[in-house]
Amino acid sequence: MNNKVVAALPLLLALAPSLAMAESASDNYHTYCIQCHGMRGDGMGVNIRDMSVQPRDHTDAKAMGGRSDDEIFKVIKEGGLSISKSVLMPPWGSTFTDNEIHDLVKYLRTLCKCKHGG
């Protein structure tokens, strides 16, 4: 084993848990998102009764098609305020890795059956 590989081992070992623990977008969605966005992704989650702003309906192709993938990534990672939307959408950047958020963006596109602008 050459010296560079040996030197990198501690870093690789440190990264291993996070790499191993990457969760699927569907599992993440059905653990974290459905509390507000609903079991069916329609914005009708168990938490919404007393909310002042209703969560986004992820099955709404028109509304979801109006957001770019970058905007959706940003709002998941940094929260609603980052795109001038509700504070009730929290920042999930300490919960998901960037890769998991990218996967969630793709997953949301399957829920809305839509693309940005179309």
CA dist 77 and 90 (Å) reads 8
Q: Among 5, 11, 21, 84, which residue sits at the site for another protein (rule: CB under 8 A)? A: 21
Under rule CB under 8 A, residue 83 binds another protein: no
Q: Among 35, 63, 83, 102, which residue sits at the site for another protein (rule: CB under 8 A)? A: 35
Minimum CB separation of residue 38 from another protein in Å reads 6
Quote the strand ranges of the chain, DSSP E.
Answer: none
The piece of 2-10, 25-33, 60-68, 105-113 that touches another protein (CB under 8 A) is: 25-33
Residue partners of 40: CB distance under 8 A and separation at least 6? 59
The piece of 2-10, 43-51, 60-68, 110-118 that touches another protein (CB under 8 A) is: 43-51
Under rule CB under 8 A, residue 13 binds another protein: no
| Buried-exposed string 23-62: b where 16+ CB fall within 10 A, e elsewhere | eebeebbeebbbebbbeebebbbeebeeeeeebbbbbbbe
| Contacts to another protein by CB under 8 A | 17, 21, 23, 27-28, 30-32, 34-36, 38-40, 44-51, 79, 86-88, 90-95
